[in-house]
A and B are shown apart, each in its own frame.
Chain A
């Protein structure tokens, strides 16, 4: 099934601990050949027994070293030793989103419990859908940043000081639609597709059922409808 050049020579699969090229312990414990004598290095457990006190420190040091190296690289942003802000830990506690959403929609719930607001996000041309919890953000800008991370070829236009699109200004609107490659749109409770940014953030979270990031040129078709709806609300 694989290419015919698969080499099943166990010697080849002998592993050394640590990173490639680095030092550290001896051969893997379960290998066919016993290498420690030939290489003169000790097995992992022996190393551990002798250096038990140091082991955790070493691991800690390795971790910090890795992180230092990485922080010099702009692309590497992960810092696993620092726990994220409490409300933001992804996937914790381990409650299934199905259950979170159901609980959020309970009409009986008299408490002000944290309701999740998961909506699907699709982007034209991208072969996969994403889901976001709108409650995780408190402004259009934050949402924009998150979407930009998920769909790397997408950047949203400027949302102005109040964070809303000025729909009354038609030329400004057209500028927005022409300037960005993609604009975010959303389906609201009425089933209409609207441009994101037409209502205050809280209202948007309440009414947004799903998001779709489409080409600016396609979205231009929505603009008049959006303006109409805006006018009727005002």
Chain B
């Protein structure tokens, strides 16, 4: 006889209660209370965040949460932003879209970061989700404006389209005209990353005019300055505006209509864009400056006095992005004008120059920290730093949550004492008790890591470059930082010892990146063998790591926890260290770079099967690329690879593929096998034949 205390409420009541719980952490906690709460919670979870798309498979997510309306996925490691991750590494979203197309017909929101998105993906989204509302593609790549046209044409309820910082193949502005004349729901549009010189201005103006709920509009560079007034005139309700080119020959009528347009935007709080600025046009924004809370001038190449003149008009500023042209003097002025500053980012105008081109030093940052008590987030590029400055910053800004300092020359010492900057960064972690993100630079020994391990208890993300002396440094971090989720390291003398000694720590983190360090191939294999819930991936473009001795250091190492097992969509220069680390399933490629639906092959059928030395049971299905949500019901081939060689249990003759004459096919039969994850131990594959069509664009 069990007491049903916890279940005295009907499910619907609990579900209603749970609907007020939004945060993932809280939802996860709720689901762990008891089995019935787990069940109720999973049926009513609407929003999912997956920080690493390879940590779990689409089907696993769908099986647990059948009614999701909003999903956020992240793909490549952060260092991909700096070209440290070779192209083709992975992060393909197509398998996710394909699965969700069937399972979540009511999906409303997709947010992706650092993923490969193709036009085919966008077309599939447009076709599959009738109530689609939000598409955010943050630092994504692989698609063109043709894919955007498909979204525009089909998604009648689209509210938000944000392409920030994505690498888009911009074929011209015609995609905008695919929004039907009846479409009026747009709330947010960020197309600032589009690079073509062509833009369909009339389509843009009409779109802006009829979407009366538009709040955010960030234009791309191709939109000229003299069109801004017209656009703003149609959208005086805008809260967040990004200009296109902000330069032209000075004409007083253009200026006055621009100023007039800005002054009628009473709700405007955030400005960005400002490419190719002509300083004389900046005063046109003065009418809105007093209300501005966010200003992105990071593409504005004007000198400090002009910048200061502008910033003096912005007393409400909370967030500023600016180039180092602002110099120490400008930051001093900023600190006296903008007392509410919470976030400051100073970017380098000449990052590769040998000599400093501007007078920006540690003093600028110190003056802001002394005067702006609300400062929480700092990203600062400079060429010199001192421990004294860092200690001052730490003592005056104990509320810092994000501190990223980049001293441009690696291993630069304290310029006053020539000592390492250990003490300075130590002060940062000691005083800033809520610090969640930290990026180190300058000359640093193992000591700084000792401080970090001891004090940085809330630290979630740490970026390290050209620092440390021995494994002790890494050991301090891995054993001390309780909240650590992401650790990325490059060019540090960290080897095997700390990594192996703290192997179980890695399961509590999202991921670890180490490149140009001293981790040996043997250690990677050992880690991969002993830690089944970690995917240990070695990236090495100089060839298979097992052609060198085990003691040889690997080039790049990416370790992440996963319940989905090793992935199979890796390019040839990525090796997974699995149970049997001799496994190299790189013969299985998924190539999603092609814009047009096409089939790409990478080897013969026989080679592909040989490459399937995964020692797992498998089933091969036939599917067409354009119809990825369905595959043939007849498995092509299934086998149990625990037996070697794999023994086909059921085989359809290859000839049946060749009889389908969609593409040219030779007897060599080049096929690609794509991994499909499944719930049961069987791994399903799709064989896709290749065409001999050349790459598009020629």
- A residues with a Cβ closer than 8 A to B are 1-6, 8, 12-13, 15-20, 24-25, 28-31, 44, 48, 55-56, 59-60, 62-63, 65-66, 69-70, 73, 75-78, 80-81, 83, 86-87, 89-100, 102-103, 106-109, 111, 113-114, 122, 124, 127-131, 149-150, 152, 187, 193, 210, 212, 214, 218
B20 within 8 A of A: no
Decide: B83 and A18 in contact? CB cutoff 8 A.
no
Complex: chain B residue closest to A150, CB-CB: B541
B552 within 8 A of A: yes
CA gap between A69 and B474 in the complex, in Å: 24
**Extra A-B contacts (7), CB below 8 Å, given A19-B550, A91-B82:** A1-B60, A2-B532, A5-B642, A30-B502, A44-B497, A59-B469, A113-B350
Decide: A128 and B357 in contact? CB cutoff 8 A.
no
Complex: chain B residue closest to A114, CB-CB: B352
For residue B501, which residues in chain A have a CB less than 8 angstroms away from its CB?
Answer: 15, 17, 25, 28-29, 44
Interface size on B, residues (CB 8 A): 105
Decide: B301 and A109 in contact? CB cutoff 8 A.
yes
Decide: A96 and B471 in contact? CB cutoff 8 A.
no
CA gap between A69 and B62 in the complex, in Å: 49
Decide: B530 and A15 in contact? CB cutoff 8 A.
yes
A-B contact pairs, 25 of them (CB 8 A): A1-B565, A3-B681, A5-B642, A8-B532, A15-B526, A15-B530, A18-B496, A18-B497, A19-B496, A19-B520, A25-B497, A56-B446, A59-B497, A63-B493, A69-B549, A70-B551, A91-B83, A94-B463, A95-B381, A107-B247, A108-B302, A127-B602, A128-B87, A128-B88, A214-B694
CA gap between A70 and B491 in the complex, in Å: 18
For residue A69, which residues in chain B have a CB less than 8 angstroms away from its CB?
Answer: 549, 551-552
For residue A103, which residues in chain B have a CB less than 8 angstroms away from its CB?
Answer: 299, 301, 349
Complex: chain B residue closest to A115, CB-CB: B352
B495 within 8 A of A: yes
Complex: chain B residue closest to A193, CB-CB: B698
B86 within 8 A of A: yes
Contacts of B335-386 to chain A: CB distance below 8 A: 347-354, 357, 381
For residue B207, which residues in chain A have a CB less than 8 angstroms away from its CB?
Answer: none
Secondary structure class of chain B's binding surface, majority of residues:
loop
CA gap between A86 and B591 in the complex, in Å: 35
Decide: B698 and A44 in contact? CB cutoff 8 A.
no
Decide: A44 and B475 in contact? CB cutoff 8 A.
yes
Complex: chain A residue closest to B690, CB-CB: A125
Decide: B504 and A70 in contact? CB cutoff 8 A.
no
For residue B357, which residues in chain A have a CB less than 8 angstroms away from its CB?
Answer: 111
The smallest beta-carbon distance between B478 and chain A, in angstroms, is 10
Complex: chain A residue closest to B278, CB-CB: A108
Secondary structure class of chain A's binding surface, majority of residues:
loop
Decide: B349 and A80 in contact? CB cutoff 8 A.
no
Decide: B694 and A63 in contact? CB cutoff 8 A.
no
CA gap between A95 and B379 in the complex, in Å: 11
Contacts of B65-83 to chain A: CB distance below 8 A: 79, 81-83
B310 within 8 A of A: no
For residue B550, which residues in chain A have a CB less than 8 angstroms away from its CB?
Answer: 19-20
Decide: A70 and B548 in contact? CB cutoff 8 A.
yes
Decide: A98 and B165 in contact? CB cutoff 8 A.
yes
The smallest beta-carbon distance between B371 and chain A, in angstroms, is 27
The smallest beta-carbon distance between A99 and chain B, in angstroms, is 7
Knowing A124-B695, A131-B87 are in contact, say whether A93-B553 is a contact too (CB < 8 A).
no
Decide: B83 and A80 in contact? CB cutoff 8 A.
no
Decide: A80 and B615 in contact? CB cutoff 8 A.
no
For residue B82, which residues in chain A have a CB less than 8 angstroms away from its CB?
Answer: 90-92, 94-97
**B160-181 vs A, Cβ < 8 Å mask (1 yes, 0 no):** 0000010100000000000000
Q: Residue A218 contacts which of B302, B532, B694 (CB distance < 8 angstroms)?
A: B694
B51 within 8 A of A: no
Decide: A78 and B553 in contact? CB cutoff 8 A.
yes
Complex: chain A residue closest to B408, CB-CB: A93
Complex: chain B residue closest to A58, CB-CB: B470
Decide: B347 and A99 in contact? CB cutoff 8 A.
yes
Q: Residue A31 contacts which of B83, B167, B446, B504 (CB distance < 8 angstroms)?
A: B504
Decide: A78 and B516 in contact? CB cutoff 8 A.
yes
Knowing A1-B565, A3-B615, A19-B551 are in contact, say whether A95-B571 is a contact too (CB < 8 A).
no
The smallest beta-carbon distance between A49 and chain B, in angstroms, is 11
Complex: chain B residue closest to A4, CB-CB: B681
Complex: chain A residue closest to B354, CB-CB: A86
**B438-452 vs A, Cβ < 8 Å mask (1 yes, 0 no):** 010000001000000
B621 within 8 A of A: no
Knowing A28-B500, A129-B88, A129-B593 are in contact, say whether A96-B495 is a contact too (CB < 8 A).
no
B417 within 8 A of A: no
For residue B694, which residues in chain A have a CB less than 8 angstroms away from its CB?
Answer: 124, 214, 218
**B236-255 vs A, Cβ < 8 Å mask (1 yes, 0 no):** 00000000000100000000
Decide: A106 and B276 in contact? CB cutoff 8 A.
yes
Complex: chain B residue closest to A6, CB-CB: B532
B46 within 8 A of A: no
Decide: B505 and A76 in contact? CB cutoff 8 A.
no
**B478-498 vs A, Cβ < 8 Å mask (1 yes, 0 no):** 010000000000110101110
Knowing A69-B549, A78-B553 are in contact, say whether A56-B564 is a contact too (CB < 8 A).
no
CA gap between A109 and B410 in the complex, in Å: 27
Decide: B522 and A19 in contact? CB cutoff 8 A.
yes
Knowing A15-B503, A90-B84, A113-B353 are in contact, say whether A60-B552 is a contact too (CB < 8 A).
no
